[in-house]
A and B are shown apart, each in its own frame.
Chain A
Amino acid sequence: GQSLEQPSEVTAVEGAIVQINCTYQTSGFYGLSWYQQHDGGAPTFLSYNALDGLEETGRFSSFLSRSDSYGYLLLQELQMKDSASYFCALNSGNTPLVFGKGTRLSVIA
């Protein structure tokens, strides 16, 4: 089966940088995705890593190390609106995405 582990909560200061880690276990691997979900909203896609290394999209970056079964989401120049839950999700091929339990990010002034 597949499983993902990520911290349940993270708190960071506005303007700072925060990293949300995700480790996974799977027998097959296509890629690791990240989703953002605000309270009462739908999950929305942020980024995807299929290969090792860093993918940058504006203030958000995502990193993958396939040999370590590890990835992280990096959020820079934090804004209050970044307060949300962040999910890593595993694409292991032939099955729907399997989501981690989410990390609730609180950005404080």
Chain B
Amino acid sequence: DTAVSQTPKYLVTQMGNDKSIKCEQNLGHDTMYWYKQDSKKFLKIMFSYNNKELIINETVPNRFSPKSPDKAHLNLHINSLELGDSAVYFCASSQEGAASGPGELFFGEGSRLTVL
């Protein structure tokens, strides 16, 4: 059983389009995240949700809108895609918001987005 799964794994699209990435975790964790990894492999937090509520929203353009229908799912919708959005997007989950826990995040396999 995959602990954190995200789809699609690859996404190639044109500038200006809208796309979504879905994420599901079956670990029973309370907190889910979206991280962006750029071409230099820098992992940057985008959003953090705890029990379906937005906790952290880093300086991300409002073209990015996360949605959490329940605590096992966190989807990412991106409007009006730009070239600079090309990256690998990782969904992750943890127990207790990683603030007091052992710092262990469980990552999905990543969704590689290429904007042409």
Interface on A for B, CB 8 Å cutoff? Answer: 30-33, 35, 37, 41-45, 48, 50, 85, 87, 89, 91, 93-99, 101-102, 104
Does B60 have its Cβ within 8 Å of any Cβ on chain A? no
Task: Give the one of B40, B43, B102, B106 with max A CB within 10 A.
Answer: B43
B interface residues with partner A (beta carbon < 8 Å): 33, 35, 40-45, 48, 56, 90, 97-100, 102-110
Specify which of B33, B41, B110 is in contact with A96 (CB 8 Å cutoff).
Answer: B33
Which chain B residue has the least Cβ–Cβ distance from A104?
B41
Q: Can you offer 7 A-B residue contacts whose CB atoms are under 8 A?
A: A32-B103, A37-B41, A42-B108, A45-B105, A95-B48, A96-B98, A97-B103
Q: How far is the CB of A35 from chain B (nearest CB, A)?
A: 8
Contacts A48-B104, A96-B48, A96-B56 hold; do A30 and B99 have CB atoms under 8 A apart?
yes
Residue among A32, A85, A89, A104 with the most chain B CB within 10 A? A89
Which residues of B sit under 8 angstroms from A32, Cβ to Cβ?
103
When chains A and B are docked, how far (Å) is the Cα of A101 from the Cα of B42? 5
B74, chain A: closest CB distance, angstroms? 13
Contacts A42-B90, A101-B42 given; 6 further ones with Cβ under 8 A? A30-B100, A33-B102, A45-B104, A95-B99, A97-B103, A99-B44
Q: Which residues of B contact A104 (CB under 8 A)?
A: 41
A to B contact number (C-beta, < 8 Å): 67
Please measure, in the bound complex, the distance between the C-alpha atom of A30 and the C-alpha atom of B101, giving whole angstroms: 9
Q: Report which residue of A50, A85, A94 has the largest number of chain B beta carbons within 10 angstroms of its beta carbon.
A: A94
Query: Given A96-B33, A96-B56, A101-B42, do A44 and B103 touch, yes or no (CB 8 Å)?
Result: no
Task: Among A31, A41, A50, A99, find the residue whose CB has the most chain B CB atoms closer than 10 A.
Answer: A99
Residue from the set A41, A43, A85, A102 with the largest chain B CB neighbour count within 10 Å: A43
Closest Cβ of chain A: how far from B108's Cβ, in Å? 6
Q: How far is the CA of A91 from the CA of B101 in the complex (A)?
A: 9
